[in-house]
Amino acid sequence: MTAVPSDIAIAQAARLRPIADVAAEVGLTPDEILPYGRNKAKIAPEAIARRRPKGRLVLVTGINPTPAGEGKSTVTIGLAMALRRLGKKVVVAIREPSLGPVFGVKGGAAGGGYAQIGPMDEINLHFTGDFHAITSAHNLLSAMLDNHLHWGNALGIDTRRITWPRTMDMNDRALRSMVISLGGVNAGPVREDRFVIVPGSEIMAILCLATDLQDLEARIGRIIVGYTRDRKPVTAAQLKAAGAMTLLLKDAILPNLVQTLEGGPALVHGGPFGNIAHGCNSVVATNLALALGDIVLTEAGFGADLGAEKFFDIKCRFAGLKPEAAVVVATIRALKMNGGVKKENLSTPDVAALKRGMVNLEAHVRNVMKFGVPPVVALNRFTSDTQEEIDTLLEACRSWGARAALSEVWARGGEGGEAVAREVLAVLDERKAAFKPLYDTNQPIKAKIETIAREIYGADGVDFLPGASKSIEQIEAIGYGDTPVCMAKTQYSFSDDPTKLGRPTGFRLTVKDVYVSAGAGFVVALAGDIMTMPGLSKAPAAESIRVLPDGTIEGLF
């Protein structure tokens, strides 16, 4: 196989279409887009208002991520390119990258190889400023909260029970816990505070679930910033912050239009993390994509135990979406790692280890079926995969009742995704989907968490620490017991222990804390050790990234 250049080299060599031409392909007129340079644009509000969803929705999800790599975004983009090659009117609707992972270890989120969206460097960096707007809106509320405390605290907020943090879009462990307002009388009451990364901000979750500006402002107003001494919630509306915050987000709520390397349309909008938030792109972008295309491919963060479950139980429930198929991305390398092989030995053929690790993929496939959505397995090919390993995995997938095909989009672009595309089209032609959420939101919070833990993770049960039980009682007492649950746990395992790969059994999930995201409209349950502000590794990607005098970028991936 011919060597494939680096992602950034491929991206910089690509000749992108003028964004007006991309827009015209899906029926958007020049006055319906707001160009941000030559190759990206926002969609004007009137273009969104005059269109209604009509397309068919396909989710792309995957197995639990490993250091071996899975390529979920790459397959999503490549599959869209393949469907377009087959003559389908297809639109991609995925999340925006966060600067934290870009400069950390994970890298960007614009795909890879010859299955990318562009302009890759701009998408991975400042893009159209959505993340900056979210940062500003979030921190405006933080500033107004502390200003309220400084000027007498008329709402009686208990400074020990303030729940609203600050935010920035960078991995910075030093900001996880701090003391603020030092400096005397004019600094305000001294108190503890913390930062979360922007993809973990409730503003990000709200932006991605809001249907329009009016809904956005109403949701922002419901944000709980803290509690009084008698445990009554205090909201952003009470601080009179919702209007100004919404103003900062008036452009950020508009979806961003870019393109695949083969010139097909892609909407990239919003970016909540999949392990500490709901992990899906915006409802506005997905609905617009469904209005513009006949088939829409969207992606959910991390493995199907997190991303797909939240997509089905939170996003689809709120937005009234009816997904008709789910593509589950897997690699032989990752499954062999789930079967006990060390990373340095993954290129060695090992069918026995593959068979041991396939239990992870099987569990995800069967979980997708529990939502009434037919699965298609996309086997993302690596050069070290042997034919025996490929045949073993594809045969196993079919024995589970799932369609399956080989994906080679990284090396071959849309052409390499046509086999998977045909399987997706076959599923859509069969019209067997009968989507349904996993649980009824009217159940008690503990019952909903138990259902997710048992049905999706395979746990024997759930242990709630005393603080979590107390929080649940308070949440239900203030009227938020009938919302969906957003589970926050490790992405590396079905369990809350990242070292338990494959398909763990005989374990119980431990819920350490539960809090309400009233603006987003769900309750968050924290299981295991989850950081809402990541840190950089010993050798972060930022060390290798630079821009040359001619504008060429090195190290970005």
Shared domain for 183 and 70, answered yes or no, is no
Shared domain for 311 and 235, answered yes or no, is no
- Tell me what pLDDT residue 2 has: 66
Question: Does the residue 556 lie in any domain?
Answer: no
Shared domain for 111 and 258, answered yes or no, is yes
Question: Does the residue 114 lie in any domain?
Answer: yes
Q: Where a domain ends, among 198, 213, 248?
A: 248
**Against a cut of 0.85, is the pTM above it?**
yes
Q: Look-up: residue for tokens 């010993």?
A: 538
At 519, which CATH number?
3.10.410.10
Q: What residues are paired with 404 via a beta bridge?
A: 377
Question: Does the residue 282 lie in any domain?
Answer: yes
Shared domain for 278 and 340, answered yes or no, is yes
Shared domain for 140 and 235, answered yes or no, is yes
Distance of alpha carbon 288 from alpha carbon 91, whole angstroms? 10
At 36, which CATH number?
3.40.50.300
- Tell me what pLDDT residue 1 has: 52
Shared domain for 69 and 47, answered yes or no, is yes
Question: Does the residue 370 lie in any domain?
Answer: yes
At 236, which CATH number?
3.30.1510.10
**Domain of 466?**
445-527
- Tell me what pLDDT residue 68 has: 84
Shared domain for 142 and 208, answered yes or no, is yes
Residue numbers in the chain where pLDDT is lower than 70 = 1-2
- Tell me what pLDDT residue 184 has: 81
Dihedral sign (CA 209, 39, 80, 357)? negative
Shared domain for 334 and 401, answered yes or no, is yes
Q: Where a domain ends, among 377, 401, 430?
A: 430
End-to-end CA distance of the chain: 21
DSSP 261: T
φ, ψ of residue 400 to 5 degrees: the values are: -85, 0
Shared domain for 97 and 149, answered yes or no, is no
φ, ψ of residue 538 to 5 degrees: the values are: -60, -35
Kindly report the three-state secondary structure assignment for every residue of 54-112: CCEEEEEEECCCCCCCCCHHHHHHHHHHHHHHCCCCEEEEECCCCHHHHHCCCCCCCEE
Asked if 64 and 44 count as a contact pair (C-beta separation under 8 A), the reply is no
Shared domain for 481 and 397, answered yes or no, is no
Could you give the angle at the alpha carbon of 270 between the alpha carbons of 424 and 302, nearest 5°? 55
Question: Does the residue 542 lie in any domain?
Answer: no
Number of domains, the chain: 3
Shared domain for 410 and 297, answered yes or no, is yes
